[in-house]
Amino acid sequence: MRRLEERVAVVTGAAHGIGRGIAERLAAEGAAVAVADIDGEAGERVAQGLAAQGARAVAVACDVTSREDVERAVGSVVDRFGGLDVLVNNAGGGRSLPEFEDLDTEDWHRQGDLTLLGAVHCVRAALPHLIASRHGGRVVTVGSINALAPFGSVPYSAYKAGLISLTQNLAARYADRGVRFNLVAPGTVGTRVWEDKPGRLEAIGRTVPLGRVGRPGDIAAAVAFLASDDAEWITGVTLPVDGGALLNAGRLFTAASGHDT
């Protein structure tokens, strides 16, 4: 399907893992894609790979914790492609943190700046262009099932929950301006963060009702749907993409031993 022809999309955290899968899927659906990532070299490799397959793609080095950096990045994309139709807030992984009682204020600030404030920066920079989009603006944020059940990592989970509230409030506020806001909540997905944890993904997969952990493409398919006109009457929703893990949250929490999904 080519549901995103003539659209321009920015995907943050797009150089690796889930973000890369999203960038690849949106490009395959016909969008011009800006691969935004703090890892500029890796982002450039992803953009070059997309271009080699015939997609319109550009890499943009961007630290979402910096409002100025985000504004510069979004401005450069609009200058390059002439507008912006889709924003995917994907940047913002979990950090290795102490147990709750040992967390200090800076631990909370660092996680919050990356996970929640980073998304705020991106929406604020993109919003005027999304409102002006002739196709209707779309914002899809990548959250986590950690926001919906107690899977551990308290700061990560709390700020992911904040993304749900942000999505709902912005969906209500900007519906009459033609901008839709939705959130995808992944379960455990096999990405590079698990490379130093041999056997952990297999153990978690055995607790998931559909029998495996996720792949980046699973999340990318959901994001592409919500960014497309197929979802034109959907806004303010949280869509778990988790293989049914929320049906069995207690066992998954035990298997994950408090690590982020």
Residues classed as catalytic: 156
| Alpha helices (H) along 29-66 | 40-52
Q: What is the DSSP string of 28-88?
A: HTT-EEEEEES-HHHHHHHHHHHHHTT--EEEEE--TT-HHHHHHHHHHHHHHHS---EEE
Cα(234)–Cα(141) distance, integer angstroms? 14
Closest CA to 144 of 115, 183, 186, 109: 186
Compute CA 150 distance to the chain's CA centroid, rounded to the nearest angstrom: 20
| Under 8 Å between Cβ of 20 and 48 | no
Identify residue 80 by its one-letter amino acid code.
Answer: R
